[in-house]
Amino acid sequence: MQDCFCDADLNLYPNHVLTPMPRSREAAQASLENLYRIFTIPEEPDSTLGSIDQAITGNVGDFLQKHVVALERKLSEIEGDFASPRIPEDPTFVSDYTEFLKEKLVAQSVHTASPRFIGHMTSAVPYFMLPLSRILVALNQNLVKVETSKAFTPMERQVLAMIHRLVYNRDDDFYGQWIQDSRHALGAFCSGGTVANITALWAARNRLCGPSGEFRGIAREGLLKALQHLDCAGLAILVSRRAHYSLGKAVDLLGLGRDNLVTVETDENNRVDLQQLREHYRRLNGEGIRILALVGIAGTTETGNVDPLEALADQAAEIGCHFHVDAAWGGPTLFSTTYRHLLRGIERADSVTIDAHKQLYVPMGAGMVVFKDPATLASIEHHAAYIIRRGSKDLGSHTLEGSRPGMAMLVHAGLSIIGRKGYELLMDLGIEKARCFAARINAHPDFELISVPELNILTYRYNPAWLQAILAQANDELARRINSPLDRITETIQKRQRAAGISFVSRTRLAPKRYRGDTITVFRVVLANPLTTETILAAVLEEQCALARQDDIASLLAELKAMVSP
Amino acid sequence: MQDCFCDADLNLYPNHVLTPMPRSREAAQASLENLYRIFTIPEEPDSTLGSIDQAITGNVGDFLQKHVVALERKLSEIEGDFASPRIPEDPTFVSDYTEFLKEKLVAQSVHTASPRFIGHMTSAVPYFMLPLSRILVALNQNLVKVETSKAFTPMERQVLAMIHRLVYNRDDDFYGQWIQDSRHALGAFCSGGTVANITALWAARNRLCGPSGEFRGIAREGLLKALQHLDCAGLAILVSRRAHYSLGKAVDLLGLGRDNLVTVETDENNRVDLQQLREHYRRLNGEGIRILALVGIAGTTETGNVDPLEALADQAAEIGCHFHVDAAWGGPTLFSTTYRHLLRGIERADSVTIDAHKQLYVPMGAGMVVFKDPATLASIEHHAAYIIRRGSKDLGSHTLEGSRPGMAMLVHAGLSIIGRKGYELLMDLGIEKARCFAARINAHPDFELISVPELNILTYRYNPAWLQAILAQANDELARRINSPLDRITETIQKRQRAAGISFVSRTRLAPKRYRGDTITVFRVVLANPLTTETILAAVLEEQCALARQDDIASLLAELKAMVSP
C-alpha cells in the first residue's frame, strides 16, 4: 500500500495547494492497519456486538423482550443522548459503541413486533427475514444497473411480474412477452408506498401530456406548455377524503398544487361518495380543469375501508382519465379466496400501489407500483451515458429513485416461503380477528365502535352506554358538548396506555355520519400481527377501562353526567 | 386463537357476500401452527440458512469469494431462473428456498466488495455494518413518526446535524437551538442521492414560489399560477453537462421540464465553464425565464471533478437564486484536512446532497440532504390527522418519502466507530491511490489518461503510444477516423474484462477538449475500496493489454496502422 503515498506529480490544478499528508509514514501505516481491520476482521463471537448478534440469531423475540424497555421515557430525555452535533474526532471501539447502542437506542426503540403493538401498520416479520437481510447487506447490490446487481435484476422483474399477475391475472403469453423486456416495465420497485403513488401519478401526468405534433411532451417542455397544449386551466386528481397524505405530496411535487387534489366526501363506511365525485367532476369541467386521475383506495390508512373500485373504474372510463388504486395496505387481500372480492375492480386500474413492508411482512423499505400497460412507464424513461443506456436491462431507467438495495429479494423470499396460501391465512386471520374485536367492542358497555372493520382495521372510543344513549337523542349542540370532553378522554387514555408500555393503540380524528360530520377523536387498531390473540385484545380493553377510572377522567365523566341529567 | 373464527355478525355490507372459510377448523389450526412457526422459531444453526448465516458472520469476504461465481453467465440464461410470474401456491421449506437462493441468486450476484471491482461507486462496507444491520431489521422501526421509532427520531436528527456541521460548521448555539427543534429541520434523510437532490430542488421551488399577498404558494395553487404570480415564462436550473441524471428526473417530476435543465459546457477538467454559464443566464433572462437554482457538483459521477463552488456561490448570490451542491460522491472529502479545500465554497450552498451509501461506507439505501437555513424545509412541510401532527417531532413531516427504515443508525455507527480521522484516512487513500494510478497510466506506453483525477475517480483508454502521437497531429477528420475504432476497442476490452470476472472497470462516453468535443468511449475507475492495492491496479492494466492482443482487436489496430501510415 505504501507506494500509494508516492508523490504522483500530477498537480495540474494551480489553484490547489497539494500539502503533504499531515502525519508520519509510521503513524499512517498504523492507522491503515486499523482501517483494514474494520473492513476485514469480523467481531469475536464473545464481543459485545458478537453476543448481541448471537442473541438475535438465537431468539429475536426474546432479545427484543429483554432489551426494548417497555416503560416510556420522555422524548426530551432521550434527546439528551443524541444532542451533540460533533462527529467524533477519533475512532471508537466497536464494543464501546455497541454498549451505547444497546442502552441508548435499542432499549429506547419501539417494540413494533410485539403482538400488543396494534396501533400502526408496522408489525412482526417472519423469522427468516433476518438472516436473509444479512445476506442482502453482505452482497450490497445496487439495482440501478445490471453491472452492480446481475441476477438481482431479473429477480426484481420477476417479483414485479408476480405482483402484476396477482392484480391483473393476465395469461402466460402476456408475462412471457413482458417479464424480462428491457424496453418495458410491469412496474417499479421502490422504498415505499409514497414513492409508489408519486411514480404512478408522475407516469399518468406524463402520459396525458405526452408528445403530440409540435409539442414534445411535458417531460421536456414542462407543465406550463403542457397545459397550453391541452388548452386547460389545470390538472386535478379526485380521491376520497380518506386518501393517504402521500397524494398531497404528489400533487405538490408534480406542480399541480394541493388545490387540485380534490377530496370527495365519503359514505358512512368511509368509502368515496360517487354522487359527490360526479358533482366535483362537473364543477371542475366547468372551470376548464382536466381530470388527470381518479384514485381509489383499497384499505384506507385510518379505517381500512375499500372504495367501490368497480364503480370508480366505470367513472374513470367515462371521464377518460387514469385510474390509480392505492392498495398499499389492502392489496394482499387478493391472496384471500374469501375476501378478494372486496377489491373487485382493481384489475381495471391503470396502476396499483402495494407495499411489501406492510402486509407482505417484509422489513421496512419495500414498496411497489404495477401498471396494467407495460408501456406506461416509458413516459418517465430516462438514460445516462455511463449506466441505464438505451436498450440495457438496467432497472434504473424506469424508477424515481437511483441507487437502490435489493429489497425485492425479501419479497421474493416471502412469496416463495409463505406462498399464496400462507398469505391467504394471514389475511383471513386479520380480517376475522378484527370482526371478533368489533363484536367484543359492541358487546362491551363502555366502548363505542366507530368504524366497522371491512379489512383488519377498526376504530372505536371509550363511551359509556348511558352516554351513548343520550348522544343518540342529542341535538348538534348537545352532541358537540358531549363529544369534546370525550375527545380529551380518548386522547388521555391513548397517551397513558402508550406510556405504560404494555400495549399500544393509535388514535386519529374521524367525522362519522352519525354525528353529522362532527369530528371526533378515536382509538385506531390494526390487526396484522398473527401473534395477537383474542386474550390480548380483551386485555387492551380492560386496560383502557382501568385508565378511564383514574381520577381526572372519572371527574370529566362525572361532569358530563351532571351536564346531561335533567 | 380459535375464538377468532367466531362468526362475528357484522355483515353491514349487503354488497359483500361473507362466505365461510374454505377449510376445516382442523386444517386451519394446522396451517396456523406452521404460520406461527415462521414468525417465532429461528432457523437451526445447522440448517441451510443457519449455516450461510454463520458463514457470513464468520468471514463475509471468504463467503463472497466462495459463493459469488466470478465467471459471467449470460443474463439471458440467468433470466431463465426468474421466468415464472406465478406466486407459489403452497409454502416452501426455508432450507429449499435458501438452496435456490445460494445457487441462482447469490452465486450470480456481483462481488461489489471485491478490491478488484473498481468500476462503480458501490464498494466494500466495514464489517460491523452487518451485525448492526441485523439489529436494524430486528427492530424494524419506521422513522415516519415517533410512535414507531422513538429514540431513532432524535438519533436521525443528530446524524443530520453532524453532517450539517461537517458542511456548514456553525457554532454550538446554532445546533443547540435547531438540532431537536420539531418545527425546523437541518436536513432530510432519504433512500439515496436522487431523492436528496429532488428534495432540495422541491424545497427551493416551493420557497421561490412561496405564499405572498393573494398568492397562497405553489404547494397549494400549482406551478401555472406560481409562474403567473412571478410573471415569468418558466423556471430554469443551471448545471454543468457532467451533472448526475437525477437532476433530469427532478425537473421532469417538478413540472419544470427537461428543457429548463440548462447544461453548461465544462473546461478541460470537467468543471463548469463560468463564462458560458453567465451567457446562458443572460439568454434565459431575455426569454423571461427565471433561474430557480444553480447546481454545483462536488465529485462528478463520471470523472470525480469538483466545480468551482466559491465562484458558483458568488454567481448564485448575484442572480439571487438557490445554490445547491450535489456532493453525493465528494462530500466526505470534507473529512480530509489535506483535501477539503477542493470543496471550498460548499459552506455557502443553500442545500447539499451527501450519500451515506457511497463514501460513508454504509450499505445501499442511505442518502441525505442538508440545508443551510433550518427553515427551508418548511416549504414542503405536510401533516396528517393520525401521524406527523403539527408540533409533533415526527420526521415524516419534512421528507419526500413516508415510511422509512432507520438507516441513519448505520451512519451514526460509521461516524462514531470510524471517526473523522478514520474517514480522513479513507478519503486521502483514495485520492492518492488515484494519482498513483494516473501516474502509472501516463507512464504506460499503451494507455491514454483521459481525465486527471481530482478526487478518486479517473478515466483512460487503451491507445498505443504510436497512435497517440499521430492523434496529437491529426485534423478533425482523421481524429474521428481513429477515435471510432478506438471506441470499439475500449468497449470490447471493458466487456471482456467484466465477463472474465477477475476485475471490473466501467466505461462511459466523454468529450475531452483535446479532441475538440469529439465524444469518445473511456474506461472509468473509482478507487473507494481501501483494500484495492497498487498491485491490483497494475494487474488490471496488464489484463487489458492481454485482451488488446486478442485477434479481433489486434487486427483493428493493424488496420489503423495501415490507415495512418504514409
A260 near B CB under 8 A = yes
Residue A508's closest chain B neighbor by CA? B386
How far does A432 lie from chain B, in Å, by closest CA? 6
pLDDT tens-digit map of B274-304: 999 999 999 999 999 999 999 999 999 999 9
Cβ separation B40–A92 shorter than 8 A: no
- In whole numbers, what is the pLDDT of chain A averaged over residues? 92
The whole-number average pLDDT for the span A170-180 is 96
Report the residue of A48, A57, A75, A87 to disrupt the B interface, i.e. the one with the largest count of B CBs within 10 Å: A87
Specify the pLDDT at position B65: 86
The whole-number average pLDDT for the span A213-224 is 97
CA separation for the pair B455, B269 (Å, rounded): 12
Cβ separation B87–A50 shorter than 8 A: no
Q: What pTM was estimated for this model as a whole?
A: 0.94
Identity at A306, one-letter amino acid code: V
What distance, in Å, lies between the first and last C-alpha atoms of chain A? 91
- A306 φ, ψ to 5°? -115, 125
Cβ separation B148–A112 shorter than 8 A: yes
CA separation for the pair B180, A534 (Å, rounded): 40
A43 contacts on B by Cβ (under 8 Å): 127-128, 131
Specify the pLDDT at position A182: 84
Cα–Cα nearest to A256, from A285, A230, A281, A291: A291
List the 77-136 stretch of A: residues with Cβ below 8 A of B: 78-79, 81-94, 97, 100-101, 104-110, 112-113, 119-122, 124-135
The whole-number average pLDDT for the span B485-491 is 97
How far does B320 lie from chain A, in Å, by closest CA? 22
Range scoring the smallest mean pLDDT among A49-53, A125-129, B284-288, B363-367: A49-53
Cβ separation A22–B105 shorter than 8 A: no
B195 contacts on A by Cβ (under 8 Å): 191, 195, 400-401
pLDDT tens-digit map of A79-112: 999 999 999 999 999 999 999 999 999 999 999 9
How far does A320 lie from chain B, in Å, by closest CA? 22
Specify the pLDDT at position B16: 33
How far does A446 lie from chain B, in Å, by closest CA? 19
Report the residue of B139, B166, B182, B529 to disrupt the A interface, i.e. the one with the largest count of A CBs within 10 Å: B139
Q: B513 pLDDT exceeds 90? A: no
Percent of chain A with pLDDT over 90: 81
Q: A3 pLDDT exceeds 70? A: no
The answer to whether residues B271 and B258 touch, using CB atoms and an 8 Å cutoff, is: no
A506 contacts on B by Cβ (under 8 Å): 147, 386-387
Question: How many residues are present in chain A?
Answer: 566
B269 contacts on A by Cβ (under 8 Å): 12-13
Q: Which helix (H) or strand (E) holds A105?
A: none
Specify the pLDDT at position B24: 65
Specify the pLDDT at position A20: 38
Specify the pLDDT at position A13: 31
Nearest to B139 among A106, A256, A421 (CB): A106
Range scoring the smallest mean pLDDT among A29-43, A101-115, A446-460: A29-43
- In whole numbers, what is the pLDDT of chain B averaged over residues? 92
B275 near A CB under 8 A = no
Nearest to A134 among B53, B251, B386 (CB): B53
Residues A34, A36, A37: CA angle, nearest 5 degrees: 60
B10 near A CB under 8 A = yes
Q: Which helix (H) or strand (E) holds B237?
A: strand B234-240
Q: B391 pLDDT exceeds 90? A: no
Q: A14 pLDDT exceeds 60? A: no
Q: A302 pLDDT exceeds 90? A: yes
Report the residue of B10, B169, B428, B533 to disrupt the A interface, i.e. the one with the largest count of A CBs within 10 Å: B10
A524 near B CB under 8 A = yes
- Which letter does DSSP use for residue B332 in this model? G
How far does B447 lie from chain A, in Å, by closest CA? 16
The whole-number average pLDDT for the span B503-516 is 92
CA separation for the pair A520, A506 (Å, rounded): 14
pLDDT tens-digit map of B83-121: 999 999 999 999 999 999 999 999 999 999 999 999 999
Range scoring the smallest mean pLDDT among A19-33, A60-74, A135-149: A19-33
The whole-number average pLDDT for the span A216-220 is 97
Q: A10 pLDDT exceeds 50? A: no
Q: B461 pLDDT exceeds 80? A: yes
How far does B462 lie from chain A, in Å, by closest CA? 18
Q: Is A352 helix (H, G, I), strand (E, B) or coil?
A: strand
Report the residue of A10, A37, A190, A455 to disrupt the B interface, i.e. the one with the largest count of B CBs within 10 Å: A10
Cα–Cα nearest to A202, from A394, A384, A379, A401: A379
Confidence grade of residue B72 (pLDDT, cut at 50, 70, 90)? confident
The answer to whether residues A199 and A400 touch, using CB atoms and an 8 Å cutoff, is: yes
Specify the pLDDT at position B62: 86
The answer to whether residues A362 and A410 touch, using CB atoms and an 8 Å cutoff, is: yes
* Chain CA centroid to CA A162, Å: 20
List the 156-175 stretch of A: residues with Cβ below 8 A of B: 157-158, 161-162, 164-166, 172, 175
Q: A313 pLDDT exceeds 70? A: yes
Cα B113 to Cα A38, A100, A145, B122: the distances in Å are 13, 28, 16, 8
The whole-number average pLDDT for the span B411-418 is 97
CA separation for the pair A502, A258 (Å, rounded): 40
Q: Is the alpha carbon torsion for B284, B285, B289, B290 positive or negative?
A: positive
Confidence grade of residue A24 (pLDDT, cut at 50, 70, 90)? low
Specify the pLDDT at position A386: 66
The interface predicted TM-score of the complex, written ipTM, equals: 0.94
Specify the pLDDT at position B392: 86
Q: Is residue A378 packed enough to be buried (19+ CB in 10 Å), middle (13-18) or exposed (0-12)?
A: middle
Confidence grade of residue B453 (pLDDT, cut at 50, 70, 90)? very high
Q: For the sheet containing A261-264, what is the strand order?
A: A187-190, A367-371, A351-355, A322-326, A289-297, A234-240, A261-264
